[in-house]
Structure 1
Amino acid sequence: MKRSLSILNLLIFSIFISFLCAQNLADYQKLRGVVMSTVPDDNYTRHAYNAFDTNEATSFMAHDVSGWVGLDLGENFPIRKIRIYPMPDRNEQFVGTQFQGADNPNFANPVTLFTVTQTPNAGEYITYDITTPQTFRYVRCMNPDHRCSIAELEFYTDLNLQTINYPKLTNLPTIYLETAGQFDFVNKETYVPAKVAVSNADLVEIFDAQVRGRGNSSWDFMEKKSFKIKFNAKQHFLGMPAKAKNWTLIALAVDKTLLRNGLAFEMSKALGFEFTPSCVMVDVVLDGFYYGTFMASDNVDVDNNRVNIDEMTTADVDPYNISGGYQLEIDAYADQEPVHFTTQRGVPFTIKSPDSDEILPEQKKWIENHVGVLENSLFTNTNEALEKYIDIESAVKYYLHSELSGNCDSYWCIPCYKKRGDDRLYFGPVWDYDQAFLTNERVPRYSETLKTNFGVALEWFRKIMQTDTAQTVLRRLWKEVKSDNLQQHLLEYMDENSALLQQSQALNFARWNSLNRKVWFEDALFNTYNEYIDFVKQYIVDRFTWFDEIAQQRKAILPISLKNDTAQTWQYTFDSPASNWYTNTFDDSGWQSGKAPFGTEQNLQNTTWTSNQIFIRKKFYVNSEDLEALDKTYFYIWHDEDCEIYLNNELALHREGYITAYQYFEFDKNLLHEGWNILAAKCTQTAGGQLIDVGIYITSEEQSNETNFVDSPNKETNFIYYVSNGNLIINGLLSGENVQIYSIDGRLFKQQKSVSSTLKIALPARGIYLVRLHGKTLKIIY
């Protein structure tokens, strides 16, 4: 019965589409087909799909004179009308353009349907009547005297001649958005009526809905747009848990793996956030033309299966009910939202729920005042704030998630919420991770997200994470992460889902031509999809290893001097000093005194340094208790560029080049002495920004034991494996361990013994392999 209803829906849907088209060109049907063209002027910005995407702001331009763009209609149709939207700055060159039909894809012996003899108006559609009686499978637009250039190209036939089908394009579900060309590419807030067809598992279901754009920078600067769907009736869209009207289709335009958001959600679930968005990978077709690989996901709003708080009404004004729930967002773009406020310390908030058209002035005033009390408490009595006003579990989970993902947008936009009758602010759910996992170098591979200068909420989270309370929660969470082997789970997620996406990603990057191109701020570019997957997998391994190092409890013997924190005073000079400037006996009393950091980088300096060199010295004290318990010693430094660091007359560290965030570097602990010590550093600069700051941090033997979160190596679980560049990498082995690799049908093709803790085995081809190790069989997808 459901199958019959789906067929009936298809017939009704086809009539709906034809009717909408007929309103624009009465009694005619807009034709669909496979996009064809000669070589475009630019494979990324001027490709053939631009002529059929209903977006007047994009365009096709041929690389050569007589180049063309057109459609394979699949079968022959009479062409009755042609509607075009010329490139605004090339409308005069449109004169002489010819529209042609043919019975072959090479357009041998084409029939000219119409020749443009008058200049079309810029910024307007124009429709040409076609009187040629023949029918054609192949149609195109070309100009024998100029490079073909056109923003929109539409061919029309008689009403209801072309059958509208909704095939599943790959192994993923396919979502068809039918807006009759009315989707608004200019104003993302404008909903348009739509039909949404879901093609999945040999079943097509059609829903009434509205569709609009979504996103901030992704909407403003990227051609591939994201969508928000509002169904007329609540749906378990694609089987996801929430039954809701509002859903999202995320374009993933910057993320060449197409998996960074899903990876972030997996991490969120493992860390135990109260709500993690669901997601399903899909193919999207907009008004009959393929649009790309998308992630279908929840809209982050109030719902029992989303942000589970009381949904407020205009009746909620008594002292208890007015306390919640409020869905909020710390939002760098808050001034673009209808209901927002800014705290005394300049942290912008958007109020997401209650809705902008329902929230009462007294409700807005209440939550604004409450957040103000929270903020004041955080900076005047931090421990009280963490007890009364901040949910420390979700705050630390958000910090840990941000560090492991390296998301440069972590502190620009943070979803959060307040429950009714609970004074605490809860952080989450995580959202928008296209810029994470080293998409770009704004958060370098081995640098703390919280130590960057990106975000409106940094000051809050730095204050939170400086407390013993937060550090205690962090140590517990990190112990759980390691015990649950989250790193391995994420590597397996990348393997399994990249295999699932092979068909879809090929279509997506053929459509957008963006695989090896910079779409936004990407730094690492590759020629193949699988190279991007391997890159992120390696980042996961490196990032977890790095965080395991910085997660150790370190005591500051000489703290660094972050701006707005208590800064250390050093002696310094820009002039070349005597050759013994770094020794303990050198007299630096003639040097200037200033507070670190020194430089200009990211406006972090407390003392400006703009010359090509600086010499700094600092006297500090080490007590006997710290020295006796000492296990390891580290410099915690930011150097841009080359630096030499001396401790008590000895060169302790020499580094060339520069880093753009604080990093730890271990040094010989025997260089520290009980009592007064002398630290001296030289930093040189050639070009760009510059900064120098040095701190000394130590771990004790007791602290090292506390942070050994996983017990002694467990052969059953303590190894890590992943595939990179066609090699199976296994870390954490003992020398002499035997590893056997079988094909999926059980044939042994490789057996090898480890000679160190790391084993690398070349895999012969992509596929599924079984790895026998420690008495267990592991499934590897490559």
Structure 2
Amino acid sequence: MFKLFRYILSALLFTTILIACKDDLEDGSNNNNPDEAQFSVDIGDSEIPYITVDTRGVSIENEPKIIADMTIYEKKVATNVSTIGIEYRGSTSFRLSDKKSFGVESWDAEGNDIKASYFGLPEEEDWILMGHVVNETEGYMFDQTLMYHYLGYEISRNIGKYASRTKFVELELNGEYQGVYIFMEKLKRDDNRIDLSKLEPSEIDEENITGGYILKIDKTSGGDLNLNQPLEYYYTNWDDDARYSESLSFRSRYDIYGNIIGFPAFGAPYHENQYLETYFLYEYPAADEIADEQKAYIQNYIDEFETALLTDNFAADERSYAEYIDIGSFVDYFIINELCRNVDAFRLSTYLTKNKGEKLNMGPVWDMNIGFDNGDRVPIDNWVINYNQYVDKDAWMMPFWWPRLLEDAQFRAAIKSRWNSLRTNELSTAKLHLMVNEISSYLIKHGAIERNYNRWTIGVPVDYLASIESLKDFLQTRAEWMDSEISNF
């Protein structure tokens, strides 16, 4: 009886939100233009931007991008007509999902990259149309709320850390409706994205060689490997996720337990000891541009940090590892990904940056689609950084950094101070719930949820209201568990 009452109360609350909630995600006024565009679905008076992409009869490839025409409609009025390059994106998600994601570049008529602004976002040429993972054959979805990426990045920005700027859109590709997508910035070095000093290959003197760098702890991909294969290849190219080489990456000298590795780097994909390794991919400067001297510098910097972290005496007052890393950025990265129970964080989809003359920073956060109430590879009442306790010999395990950092009372104290401050405001349960309510209300009010799930099915109806309540319950339970744990730090 209590569960029934709670469900009825939740439904009444949601109805109230839909009617009364100030729609902070919207802008602009109504439009009654008689020449409104016609789409493959009826969007009514929706104010969610609608994007059409026409590939001129050419099939999209995994690589390279093909030329296409993109039109952005707001309230059925075309507000931006662009030439773009488009390709599929993702490795695991590409293979698993029927609803594909796309990499987009703004092009001129001749196919050259040009900077462009969409939805008022800072000008750039690289963008992403991110779909959520849906496998209709096997009947599963990663994120029924459609908001994990959006919410995680919003949380990051709310606590003062850059994350990819995002906009909900609906996508129509070659006349076929594709559902709700998130139009977002691709992470890259840029004054308005990852704001780092430019590093030219010639800058190898003592001062300039110190930055800026972007590294990734991640799988390798077709883009890293410069593959040029037919589309069919990418559906089964699992080995290419783990095809590390000296040209595009370097390996930590230490294994996931902090021991010196005694076997050679760059073994065959999924060799029996791969789970012990942590690789760092050159993201900026790119692998085909970074100078050998720069590779040596950043490799040595990471190695010195790791050695300091392992050898520091945490009973003493001084921390030599703190000379290498920005503690605040590590604390914030920990808090965001732990709150969101992002089980891919720390060991995959992990960005690290180092600016000229500065320390190593963690972030920005990235890739939230396996997390929150669906991140159950790690229990709701344990840390994501304890991933290795729950998963045996995954090809990508948790590096030793994080368990080791949590052994340090000074690092724990920094987490405690920051967490307690954020919980009084930006990360209060009330504000987290308000964010979820506002985002979901926006999508429901404008009919996008109904249209998306008319397009994408997994054999059983999606109970969207239940998925929203599940997400809110998770955030409250997770945050309260973190309160309890961190209070003892």
Is 2:277 the counterpart of 1:403? no
Q: Check 1:537–1:515 CA distance in 2 against 1; reply closer, same or farther (3 A cut).
A: farther
Q: Match of 1:190?
A: 64
Letter in 2 for 1:237: Y
- Tell me which moved more, 487-496 or 526-535: 526-535
- Counterpart CA distance in 2 for 1:251 and 1:317 is 41
- Is 1:373 the counterpart of 2:286? The answer is no
Give 1:471 shift: 1.1
Which position in structure 1 is the counterpart of 2:451?
A: 507
1:341–1:489 distance in 2 versus 1, CA, 3 Å: same
The answer to whether 1:239 aligns with 2:120 is yes
1:257 paired to 2:201? no
In 1, the alpha carbon distance for the partners of 2:437 and 2:332 equals: 25
Q: Distance in 2 between matches of 1:320 and 1:514?
A: 56
1:269 pairs with 157, 165, 184, which one?
A: 157
Distance in 1 (CA, whole Å) between partners of 2:199 and 2:458 is 44
Correspondence for 2:234 = none
- What amino acid is aligned across from residue 449 of structure 1 in structure 2? V
1:381 Cα deviation (Å)? Answer: 2.4
Q: How far apart, CA to CA, are the structure 2 residues paired with 1:381 and 1:515?
A: 55
Aligned twin of 1:179? 55
Question: Aligned partner of 1:416: which letter?
Answer: L
What residue in structure 1 maps to residue 407 of structure 2?
466
Q: For residue 440 of structure 1, report the CA deviation from its aligned partner.
A: 4.1
Which AA in structure 2 matches 1:171?
Answer: E
Match of 1:92 in 2: none
What does the per-residue CA deviation read over 1:360-382, in whole Å, with 9 as the maximum and x for residues that have no partner? 22222221222122212221227
Q: Aligned letter for 2:100?
A: K
Match of 1:230 among 98, 105, 109: 105
* 1:339 aligned onto 2:283: no
2-structure distance, mates of 1:336, 1:296: 29
Matches within 5 A, 1:552-563: 552-553=487-488
- How far does residue 222 in structure 1 lie from its aligned partner after superposition? 1.2
Decide whether the 8 Å contact of 2:60 with 2:86 is kept in 1. Answer: no
Deviation at 1:165, TM superposition (A): 5.6
Change (3 A) 1:456 1:321: farther
**What letter is aligned with 2:124?**
A
- The alpha-carbon deviation at position 208 of structure 1 amounts to 1.4
* 1:165–1:270 CA distance, 2 compared to 1 (3 A): closer
| Contact kept in structure 2, 1:407 and 1:443, CA below 8 Å | no
TM-score normalised per structure 1: 0.46
Percent identity between matched residues is 25
Which runs of at least 4 in structure 1 moved beyond 6 Å after TM superposition?
none
Judge conservation of contact 1:330–1:457 (CA < 8 Å) in 2: no
Per-residue CA distance 1:1-36 (angstroms, 9 max, x = gap): xxxxxxxxxxxxxxxxxxxxxxxxxxxxxxxxxxxx
Secondary structure of the equivalent of 1:451? helix
Match of 1:85 in 2: none
SS of the counterpart of 2:125? strand
Partner letter of residue 267 of structure 1? I
Say whether residues 1:538 and 2:414 are aligned partners. Answer: no
**Distance in 1 between residues matched to 2:397 and 2:326, nearest whole Å:** 19
What is the 5 A alignment of 1:9-20?
A: none
Deviation at 1:406, TM superposition (A): 1.0
What does residue 263 of structure 2 align with?
A: none
The amino acid that maps onto 1:505 is I
Report the Cα distance in structure 1 between the residues aligned to 2:404 and 2:64, rounded to whole angstroms: 40
Could you tell me how far apart the structure 1 residues matched to 2:253 and 2:397 are? 13
Partner of 2:225: none
Cα RMSD for the two superposed structures: 2.2
- Counterpart of 1:587? none
Whole-Å separation in 2 of the counterparts to 1:527 and 1:164: 30
- Taking the aligned partners of 2:71 and 2:96, their CA distance within structure 1 comes to 28
1:420 pairs with one of 346, 356, 368: 356
Amino acid at match of 2:71: A
| Structure 2 runs not aligned, ≥5 long | 1-35, 108-113, 134-141, 221-240, 255-276
Query: The residue matched to 1:505 in structure 2 has which SS?
Result: helix
Residue 315 of structure 1 aligns with an amino acid whose one-letter code is S
Q: Which has the higher contact order (CA 8 A, sep 6+)?
A: 2
Q: 1:478 Cα shift?
A: 1.3
Larger radius of gyration: 1
8 Å Cα contact 1:515-1:527 kept in structure 2: no
Q: What does the per-residue CA deviation read over 1:439-458, in whole Å, with 9 as the maximum and x for residues that have no partner?
A: 14212222221222265444
Residue 393 (str. 1) matches residue 269 (str. 2)? no
Q: Alignment partner for residue 348 of structure 1, among 279, 290, 303?
A: 279
The 2-side partners of 1:472 and 1:281 are apart by 38
CA distance in 1 between partners of 2:320 and 2:90 (Å): 33
Structure 1 pair 386–283 and aligned structure 2 pair: CA distance change class (3 A)? same
1:263-313: CA deviations, max 9, x gaps? Answer: 11122123322x122110000111121112111111000011110001212
Structure 1 residue 257: Cα displacement: 0.2
Q: 2:90 aligns with which of 215, 232, 236?
A: 215
1:255 Cα deviation from its structure 2 partner: 1.0
Query: How many correspondences in the alignment?
Result: 378
Query: Which of these residues, 477, 482, 489, is aligned with residue 547 of structure 1?
Result: 482
Alignment check: 8 A CA contact 2:51 2:172 kept: yes
Deviations 1:401-451 (A, max 9, x none): 1221111111222111011112x2100111111111121421222222122
What residue identity is the alignment partner of 1:512? W
Gaps of 5+ in 1: 1-162, 517-525, 555-782
TM-score scaled to structure 2, two decimals? 0.73
Contact kept in structure 1, 2:65 and 2:87, CA below 8 Å: yes
How big is each residue's C-alpha offset from its partner over 1:561-606, in whole Å with a ceiling of 9 and x where there is no partner? xxxxxxxxxxxxxxxxxxxxxxxxxxxxxxxxxxxxxxxxxxxxxx
Q: Secondary structure at the match of 1:244?
A: coil
C-alpha distance in 1 between matches for 2:424 and 2:216:
32
Q: In 1, distance between residues paired with 2:321 and 2:293?
A: 26
Distance in 2 (alpha carbons) for counterparts of 1:320 and 1:387: 20
2:73 aligned residue: 199
